[in-house]
Amino acid sequence: MAGDADQRLSSYDYHLPPEQIAQRPVEPRHAARLLALEQHHGARHRQVWDLQAELSPKDLIVVNDTRVLRARLQARRASGGRVELLLLQPWLGSLPDASSRQGCWLCLARPGRRLRSGEWLQLEREGQPPLAVEVVSTDPSSGGRVVRFPADCASAVGMEALLARYGTIPLPPYIHSHDKDDDDRYQTRYATKPGAVAAPTAGLHLSDALLAALSERGVERATVTLHVGLGTFRPLESEDLTNLTLHSEWVEVSGELVAAVAACRRRGGRVIAVGTTSVRSLEGVAALNGGALAPHRGPIELVIQPGFRFRVVQGLLTNFHLPRSSLLLLVSALIGRERLLELYAEAQAAGYRFYSYGDAMWIPPEAVLETARPLP
């Protein structure tokens, strides 16, 4: 049972000096440092390349194959003022005038307070002609604006062609150094399905060489799709976490993934999630099906925090996360909040680099709390 402190948001706070927030990724990808947990306490300091020695030929790693959209757009108002748009997702809600929502996307706008429905903006980027888009509505729940793009931009696949001309990669606000290499470096090597506005960052560590080495070792790989949105990283606000709810997320779990997990269990292997998005996908879909993984394509809503019993995931490769975030709660559910914060302090003292372009933590199945492990 989770302790009272586990139900208070302030218990998931920690101080991080700004200089420990990674501004650029290391090269090669697998050269990032890896804090590898021991079974009961303590950890070893290794590199992500050493992950191949931590996994066995019977294991299955589950990765998120979402691809980050070049979702940041620069626009100009009729008054001449500049506006930055950040695409979030295709708009699925209604519109005030009952007009078609084809080509409409929910966007965050900065500054957005004065943007009104019916206003036209001109997308701008050097070397491209201006492109007119219309603000058609507001979304009170997100504070965003519904913007109508050309009709062929109704899906993420259709939108990518426009974003290739006008958009840039939306790095998190705590990364102040932008580089042309971000177009490649802020994508995983297996990113194939467009739709995310933030990367599943644990997967950024898996280089082609490491993926090949894991395959040669006999470690299987399967994919899930969760299009990462800004809500994933948004700090929580309520101090009382007992009735915490989170944004819904669109997930696709294929029949091939379900079969791969079943085959892994039959051969005595371990299901290892690469990143918290893979955890939320697997556990969210299992929760919809009484604890059993099944094919699914659609939204899920699931809070994972201390006291949670996992049904599918046995181990995790993850990054170091922001304080007061739902991601910190999720990792605490695996190993306990107090141990997690002790490990974060150890990582800080050892000079680890934090957040999206930072280093990684390896939580093997034997380090997971017995009360959190999937039942046999």
Q: Give the CATH number for residue 154.
A: 2.40.10.240
Take residue 150 and report the two structure tokens written for it.
């050309």
* Residue 366: exposure state from Cβ atoms within 10 A (0-12, 13-18, ≥19): middle
- Taking only the tens place, the pLDDT of each residue in 323-346 is 999 999 999 999 999 999 999 999
pLDDT score recorded for residue 96: 78
Residue 351 has a pLDDT of: 98
The last residue of one of the domains, among 126, 144, 168, is 168
Split at pLDDT 50, 70, 90, the class of 3 is low
- Residue 147 and residue 247 in one domain: no
Residue 376 belongs to some domain of the structure:
no
Quick: pLDDT tens for 73-118.
999 999 999 999 999 999 988 887 767 888 999 999 999 888 999 9
Q: 324, 356 in Cβ contact below 8 A?
A: no
375 domain-assigned: no
- 175 in a domain, yes or no? no
Domain range for 93 is 72-168
pLDDT of residue 1: 45
In order of 65, 151, 220, the CA distances from 213 in angstroms are 19, 44, 11
Query: Is residue 137 located within the same domain as residue 214?
Result: no
Q: Is position 174 within any domain?
A: no
Asked if 268 and 153 sit in the same domain, the reply is no
Tell which of 143, 168, 193 closes a domain: 168
Are 351 and 269 found together in one domain?
Answer: yes
Residue 84, token pair as written in the block: 């930055």
For residue 260, is pLDDT > 50?
yes
pLDDT tens digit sequence for 32-70: 999 999 998 889 999 999 999 999 999 999 999 999 999
| pLDDT at residue number 233 | 60
pLDDT mean across residues, the chain: 94
Distances (CA, A) of 220 to 47, 215, 276, 367, 375: 21, 6, 19, 22, 22
pLDDT of residue 365: 98
Q: Are residues 228 and 303 in the same domain?
A: yes
- Would the pLDDT of 199 be above 70? yes
Measured CA to CA, the distance from residue 28 to residue 49 in angstroms comes to: 10
- The span from the CA of 89 to the CA of 145, in Å, is 11
Q: Beta strand pairing status for 249-253 and 296-300?
A: antiparallel
Residues 117 and 199 in one domain: no
Residue 306 is assigned to a structural domain of this protein? yes
Number of domains making up the chain? 2
Question: Same domain for 224 and 328?
Answer: yes
Q: What is the DSSP letter of 301?
A: -
3-state DSSP call for residue 102?
Answer: coil
pLDDT at 2 over 80: no
pLDDT digits (tens, 9 = 90+) for 277-331: 999 999 999 999 999 999 999 989 899 999 999 999 999 999 999 999 999 999 9
Residue 68 DSSP class: E
- Alpha-carbon distance 285 to 262, whole Å? 15
For 152, list phi and psi in degrees, rounded to 5: -80, 5
